[in-house]
A and B are shown apart, each in its own frame.
Chain A
Amino acid sequence: MAALTREESAALIAEVLEIYPEKAKKDRAKHLMINDTSLETSKKCITSNRKSLPGVMTMRGCAYAGSKGVVWGPIKDIISISHGPVGCGQYARAGRRNYYVGTTGVDAFCELNITSDFQERDIVFGGDKKLAKLIEEIEILFPLNKGISVQSECPIGLIGDDIEAVSKKAAAQIGKPVIPVRCEGFRGVSQSLGHHIANDSVRDWILSNRDGQAFETTPYDVAILGDYNIGGDAWASRILLEEMGLRVVAQWSGDGTLAEMENTPKVKLNLLHCYRSMNYISRHMEEKYGIPWMEYNFFGPTKIKESLRKIASFFDDKIKEGAERVIEKYTPMMDAVIAKYKPRLEGKKVMLYVGGLRPRHVVGAYEDLGMEVVGTGYEFAHNDDYDRTIKEMGDATLIYDDVTGYEFEEFVKACKPDLIGSGIKEKYVFHKMGIPFRQLHSWDYSGPYHGCDGFAIFAKDMDLTLNNPCWNMMKAPWDKAPVEAEQKAA
């Protein structure tokens, strides 16, 4: 049962769009839909991956954010240089809480901001010399790095620096891979293109490095793709996979290393968690190396069970038994979590607006807790994401693409959800509106949320947020005083 009926949702969308000028209204109407679970494709109902309108508040990022922040950043033994002015690197530094094992500054470098700090002089005369010098200095300061990636910021593309030539020369000099990534922020309409560019650069510069080299394989080798180890997510996933008898060769890219990525073409199956940011490389490996890939979902017991069985179906009986054993082992724990939190959360309504996979992946976890997702949307999804979302969401629920600040607030006012899951830019707006909110990009300083261990934390966090007594104190004392006074008098 959705919060609104189909007619009410349609009326709401029409009402919200009313404020826009004619042209903007026409454009925004294409990005909003009412879910119809009978549909196979989203093509006719929703337009996605289009440029945001000037003048509206969008929550999107840029191609640099997609490449440096999402894909390249979490690789712990590669130093990603933010090549350009200092700000992009500094404000994107360690914000996603990609956990890793290692000593920062010695053999792991995710949390450092290493930048060429462009000045006016570099814009005028070009920054190639500075980049070459920077790479030299990195080699002296951080000799244990395994490789360097050059993440271009906007000015690099604008002034036409030849980072490929510098990288090639530097790579020969230091004897390590130096990877130029052309992820200037102005490319594309959102961070989504950054993911694609990052995938392409991994494909071109890293993936085939160890082709033909001996590697001791087992029939149960898999790689985790598209898990960025936010708050330890990938570790929580890895436990389950290893317990069922699989060998995880590589983690892309949370807590991942260059060597892991180079060994990935030797695995038997690629497990894809974030479809949006890593499907490109999976498709490439399927074509070049014949490695099948599958999407899985480790949010909430229902989806975990489904995914474990689906993963096991690619392997022999030993793994299938392993999957059943893992499910049996964790079911009592998960049931206990549900028994504890479901009574406190049942029937609550949730609205989501997040990035690449969560708007559809966490729906199962909320449903396991008896909650209902009444609206969902993506910042930067493409139509293939919406195809997958339609089936996960209830009938007549709202789906919004690249929602604007105004639209989101209006939808929330009308749907009156009990909880909102979105990003930091939305968090305080909704706090001020008196609505419980979880920041679902990096789990609001909590996590992990993946896997069985993660589900317990997920349920606890949702309960702590939703049933926090502070939400009853949103009214100023003088506003509610008369009611209490009357009660006292009576």
Chain B
Amino acid sequence: MANIMIRQNAAGGLVFYLPKRDLEAAIESIEFDTADKWGGVLMLENGGSYYVDPIAKPARLPISVRAKRLGAAED
């Protein structure tokens, strides 16, 4: 489990940020993206994937959440 931050970039897309490793990557897809369920599997542009417990869609980004690493892209 790792603390990650999800923020919005200037183009409106989601960006994944892992402070511990200074890893910044665009999020290609997010499993759930509705008002009451948001999260699930995040696919990153660098090939990695993380899982975030689905929550209600945050009113404002960025948000820090706990995420589980599914597929490693780094190292």
Contacts and interface: CB of A to CB of B under 8 A. Distances in A.
A149 B61 CA distance: 32
A43 B17 CA distance: 15
Interface in B12-28: 17, 19, 22-25
A287 interface: yes
Contacts of B62: 283, 286-287
Given A41-B45, A41-B46, A43-B46, A286 B22 contact: no
A341 interface: no
A383 B73 CA distance: 13
Contacts of A283: 5, 7, 17, 19, 62
Contact of B24 (A40, A290, A384): A384
B63 A287 contact: yes
Interface residues of B, number: 15
A35 B63 CA distance: 34
A348 interface: no
Q: Majority SS of interface residues in chain A?
A: helix
A206 to B, nearest CB: 18
Contacts of B25: 41
B74 to A, nearest CB: 8
A334 to B, nearest CB: 27
A387 to B, nearest CB: 8
Contacts of A387: 24
B64 A280 contact: no
A446 interface: no
Given A41-B46, A43-B46, A286 B24 contact: no
A238 interface: no
Interface in B22-75: 22-25, 45-46, 60, 62-64, 73
Nearest to B19: A280
A307 interface: no
A379 to B, nearest CB: 15
A94 B5 CA distance: 36
Interface in A181-231: 192, 196
A297 B5 CA distance: 25
Nearest to B10: A294
Contacts of B64: 287
A49 B60 CA distance: 31
A382 interface: yes
Contacts of B5: 283, 287
B59 to A, nearest CB: 11
Interface string A270-306: 0000000000100100110010000000000000000
Interface in A380-398: 382-384, 387
Contacts of A383: 22-24
A326 to B, nearest CB: 23
B17 to A, nearest CB: 7
Pick from A196, A280, A383, A387 the residue with the most CB of B within 10 Å: A383
Contacts of B63: 287
Nearest to B47: A43
Contact of B7 (A40, A196, A286): A286
A43 B25 CA distance: 10
Contacts of A280: 19
Contacts of A43: 46, 73
Contact of B60 (A40, A192, A290, A384): A290
B45 A384 contact: no
Interface in A239-268: none
B46 A384 contact: no
Contacts of A49: 22
A384 B33 CA distance: 27
Contacts of B73: 43
Nearest to A290: B60
A192 B22 CA distance: 10
Contacts of B22: 49, 192, 196, 382-384
Nearest to A294: B10
B48 to A, nearest CB: 10
A384 B46 CA distance: 12
Interface in A345-390: 382-384, 387
A411 B25 CA distance: 31
Q: Which of A40, A196, A283, A382 is packed against the most chain B CB atoms within 10 Å?
A: A283
Given A287-B63, A382-B22, A383-B22, 4 more contacts: A43-B73, A196-B19, A283-B17, A387-B24
24 contacts: A40-B45, A41-B25, A41-B46, A43-B46, A43-B73, A196-B19, A196-B22, A280-B19, A283-B5, A283-B7, A283-B62, A286-B7, A286-B62, A287-B5, A287-B7, A287-B62, A287-B64, A382-B22, A383-B22, A383-B23, A384-B22, A384-B23, A384-B24, A387-B24
Which 4 pairs from chain A and chain B are nearest by CB?
Answer: A382-B22, A384-B24, A287-B62, A43-B46
